[in-house]
């Protein structure tokens, strides 16, 4: 398997980014969290102060930031999860953040998560929205160009719309508790890591309309689910 899983996307600390929204979902401190496809621990970085206990699992152990994990398991995720090693751990959260779209056997991985999750475990899943307005306009202009980052990342093997993502999750015996949508990444487009007043206003307006027209404007789709 390629090294994309350990070469984490850069931390996006600004408002309404996927990293910020997921960190807000993980409430409280002292949580037991399994991060599948964790890379070098991007989400661990933003929630570090809460004393959560992270178990990371990925195909290659990260060369740095190993202290972010209580335990690290090396596993090729195309083969699924080491179920006997993970079952019965009592996870509060299981994270599948920006990983499923990279896998050929994405359904097997989700089915394995179902086996190791407890009834009260919250599973947070994020994938890019292939039907966002930027991709639609690009197709209208006859363009479908892969890139190093973003929705058309060269390592993406699976694509989801809002409806196909929700249907796939339900078909694999999960109940959707919450749906969250990220804005189009204005900060990334303008190369601004922090939000000034202008960007803050634009992001709030965009977030308002993204929640209304999520199928069209959402950049990433985030579901919080539990097993049936």
Q: What was the pLDDT predicted at 6? A: 43
Q: What was the pLDDT predicted at 9? A: 64
Residue 188, CA distances (Å) to 68, 77, 136, 182, 192 in order: 26, 29, 19, 13, 6
Q: What was the pLDDT predicted at 3? A: 45
Residue 94, CA distances (Å) to 29, 50, 180 in order: 15, 17, 17
Q: What was the pLDDT predicted at 148? A: 82
Token pair of 188 as six digits: 């990334």
- Full-model pTM: 0.90
Per-residue pLDDT of the chain (228 residues; tens, 9 = 90+): 444 444 556 667 778 888 889 988 987 778 899 999 988 787 887 776 567 889 999 998 776 667 888 999 999 999 999 999 999 999 999 999 999 999 999 999 999 999 999 999 999 999 999 999 999 999 999 999 998 888 988 889 999 999 999 999 999 999 999 999 999 888 777 766 566 788 888 889 999 999 999 999 999 999 999 998
Q: What's the CA gap between 162 and 181, in Å, rounded?
A: 10
Tell me how far the alpha carbon of residue 209 is from its chain's centroid: 22
User: Smallest Cα–Cα separation from 38: which of 87, 4, 88?
Assistant: 4
Token pair of 79 as six digits: 């083969």
């Amino acid at each position: 398997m390629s090294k994309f899983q350990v070469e984490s996307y850069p931390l996006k600390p600004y408002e309404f980014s996927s990293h910020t929204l997921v960190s807000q979902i993980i409430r409280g401190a002292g949580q037991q969290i399994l991060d599948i496809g964790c890379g070098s621990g991007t989400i661990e970085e933003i929630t570090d102060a809460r004393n959560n206990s992270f178990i990371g699992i990925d195909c290659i152990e990260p060369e740095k930031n190993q202290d972010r994990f209580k335990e690290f398991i090396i596993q090729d995720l195309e083969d699924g999860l080491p179920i006997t090693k993970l079952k019965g751990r009592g996870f509060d959260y299981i994270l599948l953040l920006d990983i499923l779209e990279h896998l050929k056997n994405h359904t097997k991985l989700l089915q394995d998560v179902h086996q190791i999750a407890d009834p009260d475990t919250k599973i947070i899943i994020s994938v890019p929205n292939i039907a966002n307005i930027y991709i639609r306009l690009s197709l209208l202009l006859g363009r479908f160009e892969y890139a190093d980052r973003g929705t058309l990342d060269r390592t993406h093997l699976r694509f989801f719309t809002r409806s196909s993502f929700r249907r796939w999750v339900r078909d694999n015996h999960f109940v959707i508790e919450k749906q969250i949508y990220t804005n189009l990444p204005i900060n990334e487009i303008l190369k601004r890591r922090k939000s000034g007043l202008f960007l803050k206003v634009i992001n709030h307006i965009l977030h308002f309309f993204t929640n209304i027209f999520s199928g069209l404007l959402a950049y990433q789709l985030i579901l919080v689910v539990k097993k049936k």
